[in-house]
Structure 1
Amino acid sequence: MIGFAHRGAPAPHQRENTLPAFRRALAGGASGLESDAWLTADGVPVLHHDGVLGPPGRQRRITELTVDRLPGWLPTLASFYAELGTSFEFSLDLKGPAGGWADAADAVLAVTRAAGGSAAAARLWLCGNLPELAAYRSRDPDVRLVNSTAMANVESGGGIDAYGARLRAAGVAALNLRTREWTPSRAGIAAALHELGLAAFGWDAQRTATLARLAGYGLDAVYSDHLRRLVRVTGSVIDARTGHNP
């Protein structure tokens, strides 16, 4: 099971979505990292959650700023890879203006492949809604796409078998549901997805008992803010050559 450190799973008093937070998560044994990607006004992918900088009354949107006007602590995707390498799973929510998902995906993939080629792209998971993902598949046949949605959409789409078939037809690799929607009565959903060749993800898994429950359901990945709990359940990354965390 992949353990995605949500926004780097920052320690107390440490800023999220920063290189120190991501570096700490990998050093602590996380097998994956999670963040959000925005494009600057000059088309550079950067990692930030809500895309707004500055104090109230003086806020500016990242999409309105060129990369040279961003604060030094805010990482570009290129600096992220330059600092951390590409030997981990990486989940990205793509943000920005309506209709801009595909442009953000193109920019992210260009940087990712420049940093680590096809191997880096194979460890990248791009999250979005089903229409965005289905429309994008023809533009890039290889990148792994994740449908982040709610059970209400799955149920209104005919249930897990019918919805899963739609995901498979669209070339989507995984279904991502919030942890509270992975209830005991829905524990069989992961197995149903696996039968269709799809992965099952769960986000917002914060407690050790919750993480263990999702592991018991057979989920393929979880997202958490709590690094030690995440690694305790999912296991840490071990370098086969050294026997230690990379």
Structure 2
Amino acid sequence: MPVRRRTHDPVLVSAHRCGAGQDRELENTRPALDRALALAVDFVEFDVQRCADDTFVLYHDDEVDVGGRRTPLADLTVARVEQLVGPLLRYEEVLAALAGTRRAHIDLKLTSPSTAYTDPAGTHEVRAARRAVEVLGAENIIVTTLEDASVRAVRDWADGEGLDLLVGLSLGRSVKGLPVVRQLRTRWSELRPHLRLSGSRANLVVAKHTLARLGVAAYARRRGLPLLVWTVDTERSLRYWMRPGRAWLVTSNRPEVALRVRERSAARMAP
């Protein structure tokens, strides 16, 4: 695979949520995207949701408040969501902005009806991936998601099309509010990810930095799989993960710091 890198190759950097940094108001917005494009990042990461009118937009949460009730974005038109939360960056706009400039880290927050997964090509996830491939090329995108079925759908579709597309199952999802037994099962499945990764056919290991240190990084190295670590923000953690060989790609809310750490690391290793 083209991402199988030598241990001395620099770790790549991805700007989290379009490069919004610590400003939650800017995440997945055009100003954040413009900020990321001004940096020498390798990837720009962004969250993709689908609205009821079948439009893909950049937004992290899958629900918004409507009259005091949490309502899925998938049940609302783009116009209605924008009435509630303000302007949304369209998926097509960000793909166009990245074309020929940066690679895209597409974090799918959407899912399809359970019956749709019998035909991967008909899922919302594949439709989003297909469009990104059309605009950017498979070599310039990675697709990640928390859902095993979504990973498998995109992988099966990509294989059917003969595409060398990296698709990752994200490990480290929030378990807040879940019953204790389910919390424990979820974390165990992430610390021992073989069954989930093989079942979903993920060819990219994606892990929260804490889980990565607890064995997921070692798992990826043993299997010869590229490792994406998220979200690494402190300079101390960046010094650890930006060391060549520790990861393939690091996602950060402080990409400018990650780039500076990478530059220093390269300088130290120079003959």
1:147 equivalent in structure 2: 169
Q: Which one-letter code corresponds to 1:227 in the other structure?
A: P
Secondary structure of 1:229 counterpart: helix
| C-alpha deviation, 1:210, in angstroms | 0.1
Aligned equivalents of 2:79 and 2:191: distance in 1? Answer: 46
Q: Give structure 2 stretches of 5+ with no counterpart.
A: 1-10, 173-186, 264-271
Please, which of 23, 29, 35 is the counterpart of residue 24 of structure 1?
35
Give the conservation status (yes or no) of the 8 Å contact 2:20–2:253: yes
Matches within 5 A, 1:173-212: 173-183=203-213, 186=215, 190=217, 192-212=219-239
Q: Which one-letter code corresponds to 1:89 in the other structure?
A: R
| C-alpha deviation, 1:52, in angstroms | 3.6
Secondary structure of 1:137 counterpart: helix
Secondary structure of 1:182 counterpart: helix
Aligned length: 224
Gap change, CA 1:9 and 1:42, over 3 Å in 2: same
Q: Give structure 1 stretches of 5+ with no counterpart.
A: 158-162, 236-246
Gap change, CA 1:230 and 1:68, over 3 Å in 2: same
Q: Which one-letter code corresponds to 1:152 in the other structure?
A: W
2:46 equivalent in structure 1: 35
2:92 equivalent in structure 1: 78
Q: Per-residue CA shift, 1:111-150, capped at 9, x if unaligned?
A: 2133234444xx2323333344235422221331111114
Aligned equivalents of 2:147 and 2:15: distance in 1? Answer: 21
Q: Residue 114 in 1 paired to residue 125 in 2?
A: no
Please, which of 120, 125, 145 is the counterpart of residue 105 of structure 1?
125
| C-alpha deviation, 1:174, in angstroms | 1.5
Aligned equivalents of 1:81 and 1:134: distance in 2? Answer: 23
Aligned equivalents of 2:249 and 2:171: distance in 1? Answer: 15
Q: Which one-letter code corresponds to 1:124 in the other structure?
A: I
Identity of aligned residues (%): 22
Please, which of 102, 125, 145 is the counterpart of residue 127 of structure 1?
145
Gap change, CA 1:118 and 1:95, over 3 Å in 2: closer
Aligned equivalents of 1:156 and 1:192: distance in 2? Answer: 9
Aligned equivalents of 1:196 and 1:214: distance in 2? Answer: 19
Gap change, CA 1:66 and 1:206, over 3 Å in 2: same
Aligned equivalents of 2:199 and 2:224: distance in 1? Answer: 11
| C-alpha deviation, 1:80, in angstroms | 1.0
Give the conservation status (yes or no) of the 8 Å contact 1:43–1:107: no
| C-alpha deviation, 1:96, in angstroms | 3.3
Of 194-203 and 132-141, deviating more is 132-141
2:247 equivalent in structure 1: 219
Please, which of 49, 54, 61 is the counterpart of residue 50 of structure 1?
61
Q: Which one-letter code corresponds to 1:6 in the other structure?
A: H
| C-alpha deviation, 1:91, in angstroms | 2.0
Give the conservation status (yes or no) of the 8 Å contact 1:42–1:67: yes
TM-score by length of 1: 0.75
Give the conservation status (yes or no) of the 8 Å contact 2:98–2:104: no
| C-alpha deviation, 1:176, in angstroms | 1.5
Aligned equivalents of 2:199 and 2:54: distance in 1? Answer: 31
Higher helix content, 1 or 2: 2
1:9 equivalent in structure 2: 19
